[in-house]
Amino acid sequence: MWRLDAAFLSTPSTLATRSTPFSICRIRPEVIQAIMTQLEKARRGIITPEMEYVAKSEGCDLKQLVEGIAAGKIVIPSNAHRNLAQPRAVGEGLRTKINANIGTSAEYPDIEDELLKLDAALDAGADAIMDLSTGGDIPAIRRQILAKTPVPLGTVPMYEAAVKVIAEKGSIVKMTAEDMFSVIESQAREGVDFMTLHCGVTRESVARLQKQGRVTDVVSRGGAFLVCWMLGNETENPLYTEYDRILEIAREHDVTLSLGDGLRPGCLADATDRAQVQELIILGELVKRARNAGVQAMVEGPGHVPLNQVAANMLLEKRLCEDAPFYVLGPLVTDVAPGYDHITAAIGGAVAAMSGADFLCYVTPSEHLGLPTVQDVRDGVIASRIAGHAADVAKGLRGAMDWDVRMSSARKARDWNKQVELAIDPKKAAALRAKRSGGSEDVCSMCSSFCAMKVVEEYLGLPSEKLQDKAAKDLAE
């Protein structure tokens, strides 16, 4: 492997290959950045600052990390125009990552609210942010969010393209392929790290949906825009027919493709149907083409899935998409809990991540009801982080169980400060402790003096010859 030297040592023509005996890749860093993606660098054994940051923060082996990126099983969404303060890697053998969606709507176009949500998501521990704005000045909103986001930022370019076309031309069917690609390219130049692109929504996959029928049809906004455009124009999806053009843009700017599930199930009854699986088959083929072009790619997944189908969905994606990182929304395991969908998503998310999902998109309590508040965003991130950590423990991920053991030791010692420090949401833990401590510095108000660990610790710690004396003394009192 080679690390990028801080100062250039020679010209691009001396680019090292695996057969070159040098310990340092002799090429100017800015030239490397311009001509190669993280995937291409990994294939050449070149260590980037992003790779080093990830390896240190994850506590993982750098060599294995680079091999995973080179194989396409791990991605580091990091646009060539951004120097991310906190890069993140998504994929095999790594901590389950959490994404938080924010963004304006036509009814709530105020960017200030979304910046507060951004702060809340980051404070709660989100690993990535997606700007899904559809109201107000969308490019200006994105630029403000980009400037304040130290972690990878994702978008769905189709939203901006559709909103603009509808405002200017009156109908989504009047959109052109150039309208789509101009937005994709402009967002890539601005520094967006990963993009959801619904390249697998084809006439064939839509036909399967029509033949089978669904309860909720299409619930993806990007997918719905494309389906309407395809049916209205009786033509194929340009994001599929001109996929090579997408690859050129993505490679030039090192944008990670998040191949979207535009036909994901929107209710349990539609889960794992022909349309969903057909789209997944297409996405698997597109993953392979992306890798061949040196472009990083991950795949998006459902959605609403019955609990007994979650693991099977993870297996399908890994098999059909050659172990590409899998990014799932939830998944939600019941349709009847509006107001609590962060919980239904966390249940599904834990099983999904345990079974192979690498990236969980949070769901807030406002899902299906309205635009989330700042508190909803925080609650959604925390719920998904709990799910992800539970899965990491189940998978035996390095260091995951250690966190729980440290918390258990602090509980046994009744060290309340340490318990708050170790909590997945320290602010809430501290607030609850202060509110309901019962005034005791030693125990909590649930059991008070009857605390099981406090009661038993004196007996468990005594040698057998002193147990009788202790028992007799306690009985006398």
Q: At how many degrees (to 10) do helices 138-148 and 177-190 cross?
A: 30
Residue 27 has pLDDT above 50, yes or no: no
Averaged over 147-158, what is the pLDDT? Answer: 98
Can you tell me the mean pLDDT for 14-40? 51
Tokens of 19: 């057969």
Q: What pLDDT band is residue 24 in, cutting at 50, 70 and 90?
A: very low
Nearest to 149 by CA among 187, 170, 122: 122
Helix (H) or strand (E) holding 376: helix 374-394
Q: Mean per-residue pLDDT for 385-404?
A: 97
> Whole-number mean pLDDT of the chain?
91
Distances (CA, A) of 246 to 132, 181, 255: 20, 8, 10
Average pLDDT (379-388) is 98
Hey, is 98 helix, strand or coil?
strand
Taking the model in full, what pTM does it have? 0.90
Is the model's pLDDT at 4 over the cut of 70? no
Res 215 pLDDT > 90: yes
pLDDT of residue 7: 35
Cα distance between residue 62 and residue 212, in whole Å: 47
pLDDT at 445: 75
Residue 358 confidence (pLDDT): 98
Q: What pLDDT digit, counting tens, does each position of 425-449 carry?
A: 999 999 998 888 777 777 787 777 7
Say what percent of the chain tops pLDDT 70: 91
In terms of pLDDT, which residue wins out, 7 or 83?
A: 83
Q: Which amino acid is at 243?
A: Y
The pLDDT value given to residue 6? 37
Q: What is the pLDDT of residue 363?
A: 98
Residue 165 or 459, more confident:
165
Q: Is the pLDDT of residue 250 over 90?
A: yes
Top pLDDT among 465 and 170 is at 170
Full set of structural domains in the chain with CATH: 2-69 (no CATH), 90-394 (3.20.20.540), 399-436 (no CATH), 438-477 (no CATH)
